[in-house]
Amino acid sequence: MKIVNVVLNNFLNDSRVLKTSNSLLRLGNEVSVVALHDDKLKENELILGVKVHRMKLITKSWLKYKPIQIMKLFEFVIRFIFQYRNVDIIHCNDLGGLFIGVCTKVTKPKLILVYDSHEFAINQLPYQSKISIWFLKVVENFLIKYAQKVINVSVSISNEYSRLYNISKPSVVLNCPHFSLLPKRNLFRENLGIRTNQTIFLYQGKLSKERNIEMLIEAFSEQKSDKNVLVCMGYGPLEKFIQEKALQNTTIYFHSAVKPNLLLNFTNSADYGIIFYEDSCLNHRYCLPNKLFEYFMAGLPVLTSNLTEMKKLVETEEVGIVAEENTSEGFRKALQASLKQNYIATQQNVFIARKKYCWEEQEKILKEIYDTL
């Protein structure tokens, strides 16, 4: 089948779309990715055998006011319809991708749409307004009826989609990395000068306020010794803040983001992985973020906030500690509890878990979905 994987980003670091496309290619399909063009990126290229077309828009350089953003979207839709309406399936990533798919289906009713929602689409922003949630729910409720298959990234989100939109329970394809067995590295100790007798707690990913990074830094800054240290690796609005705190504290370190193909080499240089999101939107409450599975693949026990899906997975697999409360005090208690765990036994559970939570297992689910089409 001819499949187009459409996504409204520049497809520079979208590992899920790349893994999905590559899996569909291995299953014998003709697969393309259509994304947005950005400066310094190629308009057309081949990535791991997948054709990538970053669509250039005349409106790209126009101002970013909402009415103009809508014009940009419609330019993308029109160009997409003219070039890709003759494919068999559109794999629509997130709500914007579904909108493009539905517009295209209007011109070709036999077109098959697969809606792959990477987030809880209607409430993915912290402290989002009720009006915004209501509007997105109305839009998604209308568009989702045109999708032959719906994919979510956690069981809780799948259950909510089924309840909200009165549809069959969507399939769950977790955002896991490919299975790999990497030798233990010490890149953080080598690059940052961390001693071998210090325990490294790693936060990797977007450095933004809703990830509770300021609270993590506060907790590590107040420690009486430097036995336990925090490494924040990534990019985002809080980079300078973290760098300043790293200069002031011997327990705080900053490492810039690394290329995706090098990520796990750095991840497995830590001892524990941290995910401590706020319970500030349903997307956080029900999430199973890819960094959780990256920690598993790197062999790291985890320390997480008390959120529905992460709590269930961590406690079921016995791969770390879940905080009792999503507060500074709750984190401090979880930090101490993690150090009292039998590290070797917990890490053995992580080694078992990563065999289940890898892309090779998720690809089997993806194959089942496409076999029904």
Residue 290 maps to a domain: yes
Residues 221 and 108 in one domain: no
Which residue range(s) make up the domain with 73?
Answer: 2-176+360-371
239-296: per-residue pLDDT in tens? 999 999 999 999 999 999 998 889 999 999 999 999 999 899 999 999 999 999 999 9
Q: What is the phi/psi pair of residue 113, to 5°?
A: -115, 130
Residues 135 and 229 in one domain: no
Question: How far, CA to CA in Å, does 120 sit from each of 92, 99, 106, 147, 185?
Answer: 15, 16, 25, 17, 35
Asked if residue 101 has pLDDT above 90, the reply is yes
Residue 181 maps to a domain: no
Asked if residue 62 has pLDDT above 90, the reply is no
Contact (CB, 8 A) for 234 and 204: yes
Residue 182 maps to a domain: no
Give the other-Cβ count within 10 Å of 242's Cβ: 24
Residue 156 maps to a domain: yes
Of the listed ranges 65-79, 149-163, 166-180, 339-353, the one predicted with least confidence:
65-79
pLDDT at 153: 97
Mapped onto helix, strand or coil, the DSSP state of residue 33 is strand
Residues 214 and 293 in one domain: yes
Residues 233 and 340 in one domain: yes
Residue 67 maps to a domain: yes
Residue 11 maps to a domain: yes
Q: Taking residues 206-219, what's their average pLDDT?
A: 89
Letter string b/e over residues 275-292, b meaning 16 or more CB atoms within 10 A of that residue's CB: bbbbebbbbbbbbbbbbb
Q: Taking residues 358-365, what's their average pLDDT?
A: 98
Structure-token pair, residue 211: 């990830």
Strands 302-304 and 320-322: parallel
Strands 44-47 and 50-55: antiparallel
Arithmetic mean of pLDDT over the chain: 95
Asked if residue 344 has pLDDT above 90, the reply is yes
Residues 222 and 335 in one domain: yes
283-328: per-residue pLDDT in tens? 999 999 999 999 999 999 999 999 999 999 999 999 999 999 998 8
Residue 275 maps to a domain: yes
Asked if residue 217 has pLDDT above 90, the reply is yes
Beta strands in 258-356 (DSSP E): 272-275, 302-304, 320-322
Strand pairing partners for 112?
89
Residues 208 and 171 in one domain: no
Q: Taking residues 38-43, what's their average pLDDT?
A: 92
Asked if residue 13 has pLDDT above 90, the reply is no
Higher pLDDT, 13 or 279: 279
Residue type, 167: I
Letter string b/e over residues 165-180, b meaning 16 or more CB atoms within 10 A of that residue's CB: beeeebbbbbbbbeee
pLDDT band at 223 (very low <50, low <70, confident <90, very high): confident
Cβ neighbours for 5, distance < 8 A, ≥ 6 positions apart: 17, 20, 21, 24, 31, 32, 33, 34, 91, 93
Question: How far, CA to CA in Å, does 58 sit from each of 66, 83, 290?
Answer: 17, 16, 34
Q: What is the DSSP string of 315-326?
A: HHHT-EEE-SSS
pLDDT at 37: 95
Instruction: Look up the CATH number of the domain holding residue 258.
Output: 3.40.50.2000
If one counts the domains in the chain, the total is 2
Residue 283 CA to residue 202 CA, distance in Å, equals 22
Global pTM reads 0.93
Residues 154 and 192 in one domain: no
Residues 144 and 209 in one domain: no
Residue 139 maps to a domain: yes
Structure-token pair, residue 253: 């370190």
